[in-house]
Amino acid sequence: MAVIGKVDRSKFGSIQARHVVVEDVTGPGTTVTVPAGDTADVTFTIAGDVPRNVQYVGVSGVSGLPSDIYIAGISVDADNKTITLTLFNHSGSDIDVDADSVTVSVVAVA
């Protein structure tokens, strides 16, 4: 994880300086099967290096998804520091998303 800058606190009226951090998280922790024509959720945990007072979290990129797997939704839980991808299988057969094969690039403001 790298701190890439500080946000000017005077623009937000905050007492604390804010940090913008970037992290690549890898998952899923175990192989997930996405049934044909259906969806499955995969959750990624943002590392403990992100400050506990995360204000905003966003996804800037996803790589490593198998062919015919599409992102149907992204949910971010800043309090628990998790990101959940809802994956859709466009093919006619089940597809496995192998453990630790997907990388999600995360941007967080804390």
What CATH class is the domain 2-109?
mainly beta
Question: Which pTM value belongs to this model?
Answer: 0.77
- Write the pLDDT tens digit of every residue in 49-102: 665 666 777 888 999 999 999 999 999 887 777 889 999 999 999 999 999 999
Q: What angle do CA 78, 39, 32 make, to 5 degrees?
A: 80
Contact 49, 25 (CB under 8 A): no
3-class SS of residue 62: strand
- Write the pLDDT tens digit of every residue in 1-54: 444 445 555 555 555 556 777 889 999 999 999 999 999 999 998 876 665 666
> What secondary structure letter does DSSP report for 29?
S
> What secondary structure letter does DSSP report for 66?
P
Domain ranges of the chain: 2-109
